[in-house]
Chain A
Amino acid sequence: MGAVQPRTRKGFSLQRVGSLSNMASVVNSHLVNLHTISPLSSDKQVSDAWHKALQARLSAREKIHASLETNLDEQLNYAKRLILLTNQRLIGLTWPALEFCEYPLGEDLALHQRDHAGIGCIELFAAGTRLAWWRYTMAHDPEATRFVRQFEQVLGGLLSGQPIVEAQPVLCPQCLMPLVPGQDECAYCDVETEAPPSSWVLLRLWRFAKPYRWQLLAGFLLMLASTAATLVPPYLTMPLMDKVLIPYENGSPINTDMVTLLLGGLFGSALLAWGLGWARTYILALVSERIGTDLRTITYDHLLHLSLEYFGGKRTGDLMARVGSESDRICLFLSLHLLDFATDVLMIAMTTAILISIDPWLALVTLLPLPLIVWMIHSVRQKLSTGFEKVDRVWSQVSNILADTIPGIRVVKAFAQEKRESARFRQVNQNNLAVNDRINKIWSLFSPSVTLLTEIGLLVVWAFGIWQVTHNKISVGVLTAFLAYISRFYTRLDSMSRIVSVTQKTASGAKRIFDILDRVSSVPEPVRPQHLDSIIGRIEIREAGFRYGNRAIIKDMNLVIEPGEMIGLVGHSGSGKSTLVNLMCRFYDVSEGSISIDGVNIRSLPIAEYRHNIGLVLQEPFLFFGSIAENIAYGKPHATLAEIVAAARAAHAHEFILRLPHGYDSLVGERGQGLSGGERQRISIARALLIDPRILILDEATASVDTETEKEIQKALDNLVRGRTTIAIAHRLSTLHKANRLVVMDRGEIVETGSHDELMQREGAYFRLYQAQARNVDTDLDDQSISAPENGKESAE
């Protein structure tokens, strides 16, 4: 499994050639550049063909400004298309037919770019009529955006008659931050390579074992010694047989001294093996337990730092299984199976040495079946490994169902769907059974086969040994010693074969853990972090775009929020308000454009440091298991009690807290059960107040409470807002009366901004919203249509 070098999505560098006297050579050099211009064509043959087709078509005075290779045809089949922009025209080429079409540049020509469901489209219009269009998958989107920009630049330059200035700083196609001259990759985005993890996962555990290397070494030496000790007894059977028993059978008296010595030796070695074995097992068990603990902690740490995107795509049950049981399995493997295996390997090596030293020929025959067994182990290994990965995946399905259903048990019961859930569980359980059955079929055959081979091996040794004894080549003692050795030897082989399955299981478990550890947060920490000592709170959103998967949610957003200003974000549900908040908190990163605070891209600030400046109050406040005081102090664990009380007072939570039986020490259960929605909300407001943030974000903080409570909360919020940059999203427009400016969003775009009065005067989207609410205070915004002012913008949906 070779790691494939991923294609980085570097933008192509557009080269401009200055005015040369020899025009022919200009064209040539441009055409040569075409190779580098179209990075999308990984295929040399294709770019050669473009090259040829163009050479024939381009006139000598034509200059190539930009090119774009798309990958879909009109019927959305995969096919290459080339769009080429010269100083005279736009040229389209198809592949493989190399059909040619051209559109002379003129002032009524326009390129539009839009996308829907993972397909981008560039359309060419002339005076409102669509002349041509090209489609591509989103992988090519940054290049397409760049192409359209260049088109506009070139056309603009052509029409105004001014030379096209391309000395502007090159911007990163992702975040629009200027690139360092001469560098292709953006320091902020730094496209991360996506090499798959290697298959030698277990070796990677060394990273966790390294801190314990000395203990491991000690354990290893002890292992060596204890294994050697266990090999002494069979050796002593040789003299016992040849020097004591056989002479006695032949009529000589028993040599008591020798018998005492030999028996003493047997006892001594057994004792030694016991002591050493104990020490070894103990040390290595200690170490492996520590490795397991480290692994768990580090994995959890890493998991916590991954972005929300990761958690959105994962299921709780699966993650719990990975952090919990997989790391446990690894620990068990290290302390038990690997230890046994290493001992066995040592034993085999030592036994082999001893056997050869006693009698090379007999040793050779004895060891004959070994390669066969090794081969068998190896061949079954492959099959089992995929099987065990499957078992794991099915197993996480089982736990996922539990993790889904148990928190949702109220819904299950309310809709009387116990039967259906039980059926779902049974189904997965059956899957589990089927997968296990399949793997057991191979597995069950495996052990007996090894045993059979063992018996056959013993048989061979017996036969060859007897033959040798009758020819007086070896003594009976040697034969007994051999048999004693190899019967141990083979039983170990049998147990060693078990290592195959556990190694595979552990390896797939380790892979799943490393899947987490290898995951780079899609909201990465900056490589060269900048620090802001004190934040003033000026937020600037510049051409920001964002998509969940292939759905564009935020499009081309520009907004500047002054320090201390309160912005009210309104718009019907689904218009992208919460998404915008997620972007500002850097829970997600914008896919285009940038968000800056006090002039610094938030991507270049250390994440935790940045978020310390943000107080966030959500519609669904989340309380952790613990006391109310702990929950309020969540963002500032060392807050004094006085601070906590002050925050609670400001949040209008103080009084109801005091009414609880244990006051601030009352325990709130999982997710704050036992408190009402409004109470929970006020606690979360207190939480935001306590950290005294420069920037405050309220995402429908009062949406889920009754009007009475809302008034309370509103008072609390008014305390909170004072003097901070505030972004408040509200369902009820009346709650935004304090906002300096209202921003009306619709389908990911800002459609209006201004104060309440201005917007009312304009009689646009806000006016309609307001009217609707004035008519019926409780009208849901969703039912009202605020349609975007017709600005000729193509909308995707």
Chain B
Amino acid sequence: MNDQDFALTRNAAGRIVFTGKEGDVHEGVVPVRAFPISAPQEGVSLLGEDGHELRWISRLSDLPEAMRALIETELAQREFMPEITRIRQVSSFATPSKWQISTDRGDTELLLKAEDHIRRLTNSTLLITDGYGVSFLIRDIGAMDHHSRKLLDRFL
């Protein structure tokens, strides 16, 4: 990626502004990761407000520091996939079931509507979609404590 062939800035309205080589300006650019789970560091696309791709960035690390920071802040503000670190309590082993969980983003509650909302990504990674559309990640089942694993096991 040859840098400086486009520029990114943030305007007063908090939107990212993309300025292309020919001086074309796009406001409200949205960075999106192409593989948020399997390869978060690779493949970020900058989408214009109309949903069309402005630029494909194959690696974030190829970008100049300032732009990368800008993109990462923006991503951090819209990416929401809490990682479950502990399952404290479940309301029942039959769905729908309410789980009290701890995540890397703090403690919260998760409503599991059906068992098949737990998706196995790899053998030890699970993606759980709760009743309100939030996706929770369990990166490594083995890394959780015994109690959590035991509760989780009842749903797998």
The interface of chain A, by Cβ under 8 A from chain B, is: 1-4, 6, 71-72, 74-79, 116-119, 123, 125, 128-130, 133, 135, 137-139, 194-197, 199, 313-315, 318, 386, 389-390, 393, 511, 515, 547, 549-550, 747, 785, 787-788, 794-795, 797
Contact = CB atoms under 8 A, between A and B. Distances in A.
B121 interface: no
Contacts of B156: 390, 393
A797 B76 contact: no
Scoring B14, B28, B107, B117 by chain A CB atoms within 10 A of each residue's CB, the highest score goes to B14
B91 A196 contact: yes
Given A118-B134, A515-B95, A795 B77 contact: no
Given A128-B13, A197-B94, A797-B51, A118 B79 contact: no
A318 B96 CA distance: 18
B141 to A, nearest CB: 15
A797 B153 contact: no
A549 B128 CA distance: 13
Contacts of A119: 78, 80
A78 B107 contact: yes
Interface string B112-142: 0111110000000000010111110000000
Nearest to A197: B94
B76 A75 contact: yes
B105 interface: yes
B40 to A, nearest CB: 14
A84 B77 CA distance: 23
B103 A78 contact: yes
Contacts of B47: 797
Contacts of A123: 14
Interface in B62-101: 76-80, 82, 91-98
B52 interface: yes
10 contacts: A1-B91, A78-B105, A79-B106, A138-B132, A197-B94, A747-B50, A785-B50, A794-B28, A797-B32, A797-B47
B36 to A, nearest CB: 9
Contacts of A6: 98
Contacts of A196: 91-92, 94-97
A313 B119 CA distance: 12
Contacts of B111: 194
Contact of A117 (B80, B95, B131): B80
B92 A118 contact: no
Scoring A72, A76, A315, A386 by chain B CB atoms within 10 A of each residue's CB, the highest score goes to A76
A130 B13 contact: yes
A138 B30 CA distance: 20
B12 A389 contact: no
Contacts of B13: 125, 128-130
A199 B94 contact: yes
Contacts of A393: 115, 156
Contact of B50 (A315, A550, A795): A795
Contacts of B4: none
Contact of A2 (B79, B91, B105): B91
A614 to B, nearest CB: 29
A137 B134 contact: yes
A3 B92 CA distance: 7
Contacts of B91: 1-4, 196
Contact of A78 (B77, B108, B132, B154): B108
Contacts of A133: 14
A138 B133 contact: yes
A117 B115 CA distance: 21
B145 interface: no
Nearest to A112: B13
A414 to B, nearest CB: 26
A795 B28 contact: yes
Nearest to B129: A549
Scoring B78, B103, B156 by chain A CB atoms within 10 A of each residue's CB, the highest score goes to B78
Given A76-B80, A78-B106, A133-B14, A1 B92 contact: yes
A130 B129 CA distance: 31
A515 B115 CA distance: 11
A4 to B, nearest CB: 4
Nearest to B116: A313
B72 to A, nearest CB: 12
A117 B77 CA distance: 11
